[in-house]
Amino acid sequence: QKEVEQNSGPLSVPEGAIASLNCTYSDRGSQSFFWYRQYSGKSPELIMFIYSNGDKEDGRFTAQLNKASQYVSLLIRDSQPSDSATYLCAVREAGTALIFGKGTTLSVSS
């Protein structure tokens, strides 16, 4: 059974702080890793994807991947109240659909 684990939270950070969201996965064959953001009552929307070990930055978002540790994280710098949402980690190997974690709820207070 392929699993993707996330701390459900809520993770509470003050406005302007760095939010750190973590995800571990069980299948060593996983090749690509995605972070989706889901606002309450809405569908998931893609924030970032990463395929190679290391860091990938896009604006205020940085994804970090460590395949040896089977660990992927998302850092959100200068957190804003509009970042308050549930963040879903998803992994994929070739030939399969995405496997999702339960998501971490982030709350950014102003």
Binding site for other proteins (CB under 8 A): 4, 8, 31-32, 34, 41-46, 49, 51, 88, 92-95, 97-103
Q: How far is the CB of 73 from other proteins (least distance, A)?
A: 18
If phi > 0 it is left, if psi is from -120 to 50 it is alpha, else beta; for residue 59 that is left
Q: How far is the CB of 24 from other proteins (least distance, A)?
A: 14
The residue to which tokens 């709350």 are assigned: 107
Q: How far is the CB of 86 from other proteins (least distance, A)?
A: 11
CB closer to other proteins, 85 vs 103: 103
Interior CA angle at 104 toward 59 and 87, to 5°?
40
CB closer to other proteins, 68 vs 97: 97
Give the type of residue at 13. Answer: V
CB closer to other proteins, 42 vs 77: 42
Separation between Cα atoms, residue 65 and residue 23, nearest integer Å: 10
